[in-house]
Structure 1
């Protein structure tokens, strides 16, 4: 006898029972989102991490569109909800969270996952029928848009949720999302779009970008004001020292970190780069060998199986700690995590909040993040970050404006996905925020580029990627070009990577460990050792983009240096640092709420005694004469990217007035200009800062640097996104050298024969905006010009000047010689400064200095600037020279 099917009640009736079973009480902001979705509105939800943003959007979609199955075995509804996430790990976790309540609600909705990790069998099943809700990434969504039946497959989507919108908005991936949303909205005019975020500083802009093209009455913004305890504290060193340099505390903080982990059931230990994560993981294992199996390593270059294992065991509470990078930054739900340790400065308020939210990731639980300083000034940054969080000073994120490489890629994508008519697609593209001001000329150039590669490539069939047919519909004419495009969709561009595999006795490849950048392996010879995945490995051989390795022991390792480690101090945090230094000098910091004060006060006092402290109303500058030349130390506190552009710009502008050649060193707090002749900085500095040539700022900045090389490097990324160069088929990827050679050829051809090519202009703009942060540079120049110059002549480097001296020495000395030199300099400076109470024992520990210098625990930028000027009387052009670098260690006077 067959069972009688009883249709479950509607979601609205079963939802209270689900909440009661889980002891949940919906927050007001969740109810507000459910109501807005019920009325067909789109919006931006900004709420604290771990308070239920995911279920606010998901249950809203279920309430609006989910119907109980009419009969047993009924076909699940078609694709209704698209959920976009910026990371694959977050996608898998989100899919599990969406699936969890469906059975209890009596729904037959299916939830699927499609990312770069999705297997071929699952992709084949999705090609036949997509799930009701699909969790995917921007790149995978663009791939779906290349399907010939894209409109049929995606045209019934009712809700798109863009998770962690703050992570996407400021990059080309966010532009990719904007274009995809515009396409979906053409097929489904009633499409609702919801963005989720916890760390946005410019909500108006974020909302405008996400919801562009929608009328005001269909937009809402929801704020999740929920009680959430956030604890931000600092792991204090035994002694901080008065002369900081990048990483000088470094691994000396290891015993402190170990003690904290001993008293914590589960913790995440965040580092800013993968190489630092490798070193700290190995150091923790060396300190506590019995923790093997209880601590783990997680970063984006590790094999997927390794990452999955770590995430599963972190979820079930089997791990004491995971040493990780930004690979675990975002909203993955790890309930057992009690606290987060941030090794080194987070460099931004939003990043600190995001990482803090990985602990106590549930409503009602406290989130705790502890900053572990790697140099003395990071104690100041820790106080500044805590104050900035209290004041709500979170970094703004701006969407890129008209990146044409993304547009031409999208044109080929749409041509594959059913084709397009030019006028119709232009109107669609202009509904996005990024291309709202796209001109007719730029549009026509983009069409010409995908039709024949522009003026210079029309003779080559490989660049005829889309063209109109007799009916005026643009399509991709060649199956081979279609296949190449699908393999290249996306805007994430990185250097070529190599697989790392164990070498077996049979001479074949064993288990995969992950990937490492090709440039690192190229510097190794068979027999050399390196740390990777928490193991000491010996390189056996390199074959077909695979590095075969075996375990090694007792040999000194190298550490892979992945790209992407450059992380400048944000404007908000930099301003908070200046405020903190000023408050410390004036005695406005409360010792009870600022335990760092006792450690930073000696540095503050000595800086004030030998020079002065920066304030909001002054621009601190210091001069020093040594046998190497005349030094200017300037402290704008604008971050290293701005300081690189600013130092080179100042040298360039000054070089137009007096014949001089400069070398430049920068860090997050300031910059150093080293000149071969004395200069009257009190006279010249205000002039070059206040120079009324803002319209020429871009030309001056590019002229002061090796602009051609910077633009060429940026052009390689643009060329890849625009489809000019192809990275190769699976198993036959082109090397980084081949890709660079190809992009260099295109760059030179365009520069010589098609100088009006818009991709060249885009490369120059991206150098200015992204590498040199030109907007922030312009704001910094305007701010500095309005400040009172506070100029001091030094007898020896001040505490703020010392780290810039060390940055300069890194250029010339090996790590061992650098360690010796730093130890000697510190001893001399401490002797000159005299004892300070309990801190009289802060002479450099040579062993610690050598260890940190050898491993390079902190990121540092090696940069140079050059300047050429005119001879004042004759007006003859003086030839620009390369940056002058010290030939001998910098002496202390």
Structure 2
């Protein structure tokens, strides 16, 4: 690599800057096939990724697209364009920098394909779309480098799998293409290197100086956290005081619902009228953009937000991050902490606010993990086959393809390196005909093989429909929310279709920090009017939920095994000690189960510490087993650490409930006819191209898509249960919402060491579960028995009344 051009060197010098060692390391490795840079937030990570590009473009000799930048967020691409434009203009580089996302106009998108800029900033979905055109080879003719920002976030999702397939396509078009990955938080650099370049030996890893440890602690409040709940309303006065002491504060929440409720409560308590905003993925794009612009101008003192601001958008005036509720994941917490003091070698300042008593323990465990630099992360599985099917259709939309070449291309992508040829052929057959049970239907006859062996679309017009349905993001179906006016009022954002279905005219709810009244549904748009109520009737839609990571759960159990807890606040340490006195504290090597009567019902509390999804699944499976064993369960509720079941009969021996073979069989039986499977099927079928959400001139509503996918699911279950899409659905359900793998790990960990403790009353640990929302009733023999007992009681009462009258 030649030395840094004089114009760029002068630009650094004029600002009194010098190139950081990791930035020089990226320049030195500019010619390497793949490089992964791990550098702290504020350490000039993005500039390090772009410096080789700017150096190579300084002479103005390159024609066409030189560097492609891919980020998980549209807002991040726009932010990087703004930050990159400044040095490019001031240095006087003769280059064009543009972004291409879902917000880019169709006119500009068409021009970018024919006349691409030198640097194009985009997202995985827009890149996949670019590769689907017949002129893709011309668009990428001069491409030299791809920069993948926040690669750790993409590596954990199907969006990352899709991106790696797109990069494999680009690598075939440009064999000498160089790949760069950027991240601040990576728990396993070799795994990310394999994801980026298929094998860590083929990828240089540059580790920047991590800088000083963050200044992170728990927020001290006058009021104690409540026993249960996730709102953290008790901490509002203390949070307001912190906002007053700092320039700009980011207040992170784990769900959009919690963010909306907290913002509403914060605003009601904001007597001084401090400028405070809210930002999350369900808000209208223009409202998000206004909040982002106000942040850049330094006009906001605080922003209540969710994961929409997790990643590296650079707002230098943020000097405090507050995490409301337990972080659930150490890596996510570190990422969020990094949003404060976006400067090199300046410690980030953050405060944790536990929402309830048990979250105090989780927050302390997370603090200890951050100080120990112990990041968590689940091992990556194989690349999912629904994404693979979509890529085959994308390849077909770009023109005829050879199956052998496409297989070689796909297996050069890290997530799909282990793909077998029979698995690929099954996906190709599905894309061509729809599979055995569907091959008779013309609508799924999409590909055909020519006499020369090449594959192509049966109908070239299908390419448009394929492009309209590219993407792997399968959020809950949402409906637009608008203020009611004659011709469509101001857009406020989106709410889940299921939430909208629960509303009746007159209901009030929160969106964008304001209370609105539901007026009705018109043309799939939720119409509302503004209300000045102090409190909404219904809180809000849900948004995303996280489960506590395996590593963080392990740290919590290690803490519970201590003899005392000097690191915990007094009220929480006393709570743990009381649990130990009344019952027992859970531990890693044994499974604690408590049994006790309460309000005329028998209760069973299982402390699995397997995360909310797994504990929820455990509740479903255990109540199913209890039904089979005539133990009359009535319902259950689950948290990240426990499942509470109530019913008519006490459990005296829990071991038969936990036989892994029975649980696995129960899961498969339960899944077959469950709504969860149908929802999972719809998501995978949409990604794989079996169901088209978007069609020319129209878009299916979530309800229409559900109806058509339910019919397909029932048909395949009956006539072709081993269909490729059914296989994919089972795999997705097992590792997704069901999280059965963590139940298996839990059972393997305790190896039959189950402690059943019979108590006379509710234990301190079980008490908060009675306050949890989301109780799941069990419809079965117990309900029938209760009805029979009530009928008998009424008959006896009627008989007594008749005897008294005679």
TM-aligned CA distance change 1:382 to 1:215, over 3 Å? closer
The range that moved more, 184-193 or 554-563, is 554-563
Q: Deviations over 1:826-858 (max 9, x none)?
A: xxxxxxxxxxxxxxxxxxxxxxxxxxxxxxxxx
Q: Deviations over 1:507-541 (max 9, x none)?
A: 11232222222332333334433221122222344
Q: Deviations over 1:78-107 (max 9, x none)?
A: 111111111111111122223232233332
- State how far apart, in whole Å, the 1-side matches of 2:537 and 2:599 are: 35
- State how far apart, in whole Å, the 2-side matches of 1:177 and 1:884 are: 55
Partner secondary structure for residue 416 of structure 2:
coil
Q: Is the 8 A contact 2:481 2:527 kept in 1?
A: yes
Q: Is the 8 A contact 1:208 1:433 kept in 2?
A: yes
Partner secondary structure for residue 615 of structure 2:
helix
1:834 is matched with: none
1:304 maps onto 2:285 in alignment: yes
Partner secondary structure for residue 179 of structure 2:
strand
TM-aligned CA distance change 1:463 to 1:558, over 3 Å? farther
Shift of 1:276: 1.6
Give me the TM-score of the superposition, normalised by structure 1. 0.83
1:86 maps onto 2:52 in alignment: no
How do 1:245-284 residues align onto structure 2 when only pairs under 5 Å count?
245-247=228-230, 250-284=232-266
1:367 is matched with: 348
How do 1:186-201 residues align onto structure 2 when only pairs under 5 Å count?
186-201=172-187
Residue 211 of structure 2 is aligned with which of 227, 238, 242?
227
1:620 maps onto 2:592 in alignment: yes
Partner secondary structure for residue 574 of structure 1:
helix
Q: Is the 8 A contact 2:211 2:346 kept in 1?
A: no
Q: Is the 8 A contact 2:625 2:657 kept in 1?
A: yes
Q: Is the 8 A contact 2:114 2:139 kept in 1?
A: no
1:802 maps onto 2:784 in alignment: no
Q: Deviations over 1:698-723 (max 9, x none)?
A: 43433356753322110010111111
TM-aligned CA distance change 1:330 to 1:236, over 3 Å? same
Shift of 1:651: 5.0
1:496 maps onto 2:477 in alignment: yes
2:730 is matched with: 764
2:494 is matched with: 515
TM-aligned CA distance change 1:258 to 1:200, over 3 Å? same
Shift of 1:397: 4.0
1:455 is matched with: 436
How do 1:222-621 residues align onto structure 2 when only pairs under 5 Å count?
222-240=206-224, 244-247=227-230, 250-291=232-273, 294-504=275-485, 507-554=486-533, 556-559=535-538, 561-562=540-541, 564-583=543-562, 585-587=563-565, 589=566, 594=567, 596-621=568-593
1:745 maps onto 2:724 in alignment: no
- State how far apart, in whole Å, the 1-side matches of 2:640 and 2:149 are: 31
Q: Is the 8 A contact 1:635 1:669 kept in 2?
A: yes
- State how far apart, in whole Å, the 2-side matches of 1:215 and 1:341 are: 36
Shift of 1:677: 2.4
How do 1:29-48 residues align onto structure 2 when only pairs under 5 Å count?
29-38=22-31, 40-48=32-40
Partner secondary structure for residue 586 of structure 1:
coil
Q: Deviations over 1:315-346 (max 9, x none)?
A: 22111111111111111001010101111111
- State how far apart, in whole Å, the 1-side matches of 2:182 and 2:733 are: 30
Q: Is the 8 A contact 2:164 2:196 kept in 1?
A: yes
Shift of 1:458: 2.7
- State how far apart, in whole Å, the 1-side matches of 2:299 and 2:383 are: 47
Shift of 1:490: 0.2
Residue 69 of structure 1 is aligned with which of 39, 57, 60?
60
TM-aligned CA distance change 1:740 to 1:144, over 3 Å? same
Consecutive unaligned residues of structure 1, counting only runs of 5 or more, are 1-8, 71-75, 811-860, 868-878, 889-893
2:798 is matched with: none
How do 1:695-706 residues align onto structure 2 when only pairs under 5 Å count?
698-703=664-669
TM-aligned CA distance change 1:621 to 1:135, over 3 Å? same
- State how far apart, in whole Å, the 2-side matches of 1:89 and 1:334 are: 12
- State how far apart, in whole Å, the 1-side matches of 2:328 and 2:600 are: 32
Q: Is the 8 A contact 1:606 1:799 kept in 2?
A: yes
Shift of 1:883: 13
Shift of 1:731: 7.1
Shift of 1:399: 3.6
2:801 is matched with: none
Residue 674 of structure 2 is aligned with which of 698, 704, 708?
708
Q: Deviations over 1:473-529 (max 9, x none)?
A: 32334354222111110001123322222233xx11232222222332333334433
2:611 is matched with: 639
Shift of 1:884: 9.7
TM-aligned CA distance change 1:460 to 1:390, over 3 Å? same
How do 1:11-30 residues align onto structure 2 when only pairs under 5 Å count?
11-30=4-23
TM-aligned CA distance change 1:555 to 1:224, over 3 Å? closer
Q: Is the 8 A contact 1:644 1:863 kept in 2?
A: no
Matched residue count: 787
TM-aligned CA distance change 1:42 to 1:297, over 3 Å? same
Shift of 1:227: 1.6
- State how far apart, in whole Å, the 2-side matches of 1:387 and 1:215 are: 30
TM-aligned CA distance change 1:476 to 1:289, over 3 Å? farther
- State how far apart, in whole Å, the 2-side matches of 1:726 and 1:103 are: 44
Shift of 1:801: 0.6
1:720 maps onto 2:686 in alignment: yes
Partner secondary structure for residue 267 of structure 1:
strand
TM-aligned CA distance change 1:542 to 1:629, over 3 Å? closer
Q: Is the 8 A contact 1:379 1:600 kept in 2?
A: yes
Partner secondary structure for residue 559 of structure 2:
helix
TM-aligned CA distance change 1:725 to 1:563, over 3 Å? farther
Shift of 1:270: 1.1
Residue 792 of structure 1 is aligned with which of 736, 739, 757?
757
Q: Deviations over 1:341-371 (max 9, x none)?
A: 1111111111111111111111122211211
Q: Is the 8 A contact 1:160 1:192 kept in 2?
A: yes
TM-aligned CA distance change 1:239 to 1:560, over 3 Å? closer
Shift of 1:600: 1.4
- State how far apart, in whole Å, the 1-side matches of 2:673 and 2:330 are: 31
1:106 is matched with: 92
Q: Is the 8 A contact 2:481 2:495 kept in 1?
A: yes
- State how far apart, in whole Å, the 2-side matches of 1:501 and 1:239 are: 39
Partner secondary structure for residue 386 of structure 2:
helix
Q: Deviations over 1:29-63 (max 9, x none)?
A: 2222221223x231222222221211111113333
Partner secondary structure for residue 510 of structure 1:
coil
- State how far apart, in whole Å, the 1-side matches of 2:478 and 2:587 are: 45
1:50 is matched with: 42
1:181 maps onto 2:167 in alignment: yes
**CA root-mean-square deviation:** 2.8
Q: Deviations over 1:297-323 (max 9, x none)?
A: 111121212111111111221111111
- State how far apart, in whole Å, the 2-side matches of 1:707 and 1:366 are: 52
Consecutive unaligned residues of structure 2, counting only runs of 5 or more, are 791-806
